[in-house]
Amino acid sequence: MNKHSKHFKKSLSLLDLMMIGLGSIFGSGWLLAASHVSTIAGPAGILSWVIGGFAVLLLGFIFCELGAALPHAGGVVSYPAYSHGSVVGFLTGLITIIAYSSLISIEAIAARQYASAWFPFLSANSAGDATLIGWIIQAVLLAGMFYLNLVGVKTFAKVNNILSVFKFIVPTLIIVCLLYFSSSANFTSAGFAPFGSKGIEEAISTGGVIFAYLGLTPIVAAAAEVKNPQRSIPYALVGCIVLSTIIYVLLQASFIGSIPSSYINHGWGSISSSFVLPFHDIALILGIGWLAKLVVVDAIISPSGTGNIYMNTTSRVIFAWAKDGSFFSKFAHVDEKSGVPTPALWLTFALSIFWTLPFPSWKALIGVVSSALMLSYALAPISAASLRKTSAQIERPFYLKGMGILSPIAFVIASLIVYWSGWQTVSWLLGSQILLGCVYVISKMIAKDRTIYTNLKSGAWLMIYYSGMIMVSAMGDFGGWELLSHAEGLSTVTIMALISYFIGVNTGLSPVTHQLEDHSLIIDEYPEKELVEARV
C-alpha cells in the first residue's frame, strides 16, 4: 500500500460539520470585537453585526450549491480554478492561504492576549503586543494545534466537538448576566449612530465583525471527509450563520447596555482603550468576578479551538491548490494511514509561525485578515453562476433559486466590505496579488505552457477588478485621498463590481476547454466516466 494517496476518509457527520462551523465562527472575534465595534460605530454597531450576518448568509447559500454539488477538499480554491482556470485559481489560492494561515496566528495571539489578564508578562504593552515569552507560548500553542491535526481527522473532530460545546456555555452566561445590568439609556445618550453610516461600514471590515463571521470555509474545505455531503453541507452552513448572527447581536447589545454611564459621557471613541479585554473587563467593573474568570478560561479555549480548525482547513486548501496544478504537486498527497495531507499541514504550521513575527497584537492584524478572508469568499458567486452556464449537467442536490439576483448582490457586498477596510489594506493586499499574478503568468509563458493563454483570457477580468479596487480605494474616503465623496465611492465600487461580475460569469472556461486542459478538480467520488459526461 502506498504511503501517500489523494483520497480522504469520510469520517465527519452532520454534527461534526456543525461543530466545525460554529467552532470556527466562535473564536477570538466575539471576545475582542465588541469594544472595537463600539468605538467605531457606537450603539449602531449592532447593525454592523446584522449586515455582516446577511452578507455571509448570501455567500453561505452560494457555497451550499457549490459544496453540495462538488464536495472537494479545499473547495474554496477549487471552484474558481474549475470555472476560470489556473490564473484565477492561483490568485484565489494565494489570497486564501494568506487569509487562513494568518487567521491561525491571530487566534493564537488572541488566546495569549486574554491570558495576559492573569499573566501580565505575556504582553509587552496595553495594545497587546507579545513579549518574547508570550511569543514562545503562542508557538507552543500552534505546535499543539499542528499535532492534533497530524494524528487524524477523527481525533481532530472529537476534540473540536468538546471545545465547541464549551464555547456556547460562556457566551450564553455573558448575555444573561450583562442584560441584567443593561440600561436602555446607553443606546441613545451619545446618539445611536454617532459616526454615521461610515462608522457602521468600517466596523464591519476593521472592527472584527466580518472576521468573526467567516467560518464557512472550514465546512466546505472538509467536504471530501463528510458523510452524505449533499445533505450535511447546506444544513451546516445555513444553521451556523443564523445561530451565530443571533448570538453576536445579543453579545454586542448586552455589552453596550451594561457599560457604566461614566465611560460614555464623552462619547464612544475611547471604549476600546477602556475595555481592552471587553467581556472580562466589564465583568470586573460590574463585580461579577466569577464571570470574569470564566471569560478568561473561554478566551484561551475558544481561539485555540478556532485556530485548530483553521490549521485543518488551511492544509486542505493547500492540498486543493496543489492538486489543481497552481502550486507544487508534492503538497497534493494524503497520508494513507491518518487520512491527513501531511506535507500541506507542515507548510501550514510554518506559515502560522511566520505570521506571529514580529509579535503583533490582535488589533494590528484584524483589518488585513478580514479583507483577505472576504476576498477568498468573493469569487464564489461568480464561479457558481459561471458553472451553471458551462457545466449545467453537473448534479446540484442544492439548487439556489434566484441565483441571478442573489449572486451579483453577494459579490457587490463582498466588494464593499473589502473597500471599507481602507486604502492601506487594499493597496498592499491587492497590489501584491497583481504582482504575484503577473509573476505566475510570466513563469508559465517561459515554461511554454500552452494553456496559459486560454487561462489568462478567462482570468484577466480579475486582475482588472483588483486594479480598479485599488484606484477607487485611493480616491475614496476610507483612508484614501477623499477625491470621491462617501456616496460616490460606494456607487463606484458597486458599478465596478457589477461589471466585473458579469464579465467574470461570461468568460468562464467551456467544458471542452476543461477536457483539453485536464482540470481534474472533481473529487475522487465521481468516476471518470461521470466526470466526462458532466463536462459535456
| 88-137: pLDDT as tens digits | 988 888 888 888 888 888 888 888 988 988 899 998 877 678 889 999 99
Of 143-157, 356-370, 437-451, highest mean pLDDT: 437-451
Q: Report the alpha-carbon distance of residue 371 to residue 425 in Å, rounded.
A: 8
Residue 364 clears pLDDT 50, i.e. is over it: yes
Q: Report the alpha-carbon distance of residue 466 to residue 457 in Å, rounded.
A: 16
Run of H or E residues at 403: helix 403-420
Residue 404 clears pLDDT 50, i.e. is over it: yes
DSSP state of 130: B
pLDDT of 180 reads: 94
Q: What is the mean pLDDT of the chain?
A: 82
Burial degree of 469 (CB within 10 A; 0-12, 13-18, 19+): buried
Domain count, the chain: 1
Of all residues in the chain, what percent carry a pLDDT higher than 70? 83
- Cell numbers that stand for 301 in this block: 479555549
Per the structure, the complete domain to which residue 8 belongs is given by 4-535
C-beta atoms surrounding 446 within 10 Å = 9
Of residues 528, 424, 428, the one with CA closest to residue 478: 424
Residue 199 clears pLDDT 60, i.e. is over it: yes
3-class secondary structure per residue, 6-71:
CCCCCCECHHHHHHHHHHHHCCCHHHHHHHHHHHHHHHHHHHHHHHHHHHHHHHHHHHHHHHHHCC
| 494-529: pLDDT as tens digits | 999 999 999 999 998 876 444 434 334 333 333 333
Yes or no: say if 359 and 124 are a contact pair by the CB < 8 Å rule.
yes
Yes or no: say if 77 and 528 are a contact pair by the CB < 8 Å rule.
no
Parallel, antiparallel or unpaired: strands 334-335 and 4-5: antiparallel
Run of H or E residues at 334: strand 334-335
DSSP state of 330: G
Q: Report the alpha-carbon distance of residue 423 to residue 485 in Å, rounded.
A: 15
DSSP assignment of 452-473 equals HHHHHHHHHHHHHHHHHHHHHH
Residue 158 clears pLDDT 70, i.e. is over it: no
User: Tell me, what CATH number does 490's domain have?
Assistant: 1.20.1740.10
Q: Report the alpha-carbon distance of residue 398 to residue 419 in Å, rounded.
A: 31
Residue 293 clears pLDDT 80, i.e. is over it: yes
Q: Report the alpha-carbon distance of residue 237 to residue 149 in Å, rounded.
A: 22
Burial degree of 316 (CB within 10 A; 0-12, 13-18, 19+): buried
| 82-94: pLDDT as tens digits | 899 889 988 888 8
pLDDT of 258 reads: 96
Q: Report the alpha-carbon distance of residue 48 to residue 64 in Å, rounded.
A: 24
List Cβ<8 Å contacts ≥24 apart for 239-242.
239/18, 239/21, 240/18, 240/21, 240/22, 240/25, 240/60, 240/215, 240/216, 241/53, 241/56, 241/57, 241/60, 241/213, 241/216, 242/53, 242/57
Burial degree of 186 (CB within 10 A; 0-12, 13-18, 19+): buried
pLDDT of 356 reads: 85
Q: What is the band of 301 on the pLDDT scale with cuts at 50, 70, 90?
A: confident
| 412-469: pLDDT as tens digits | 999 999 999 889 889 988 999 999 999 999 998 998 888 888 899 999 999 999 999 9
Taking residues 155-168, report their average pLDDT: 66
3-class secondary structure, 481: coil
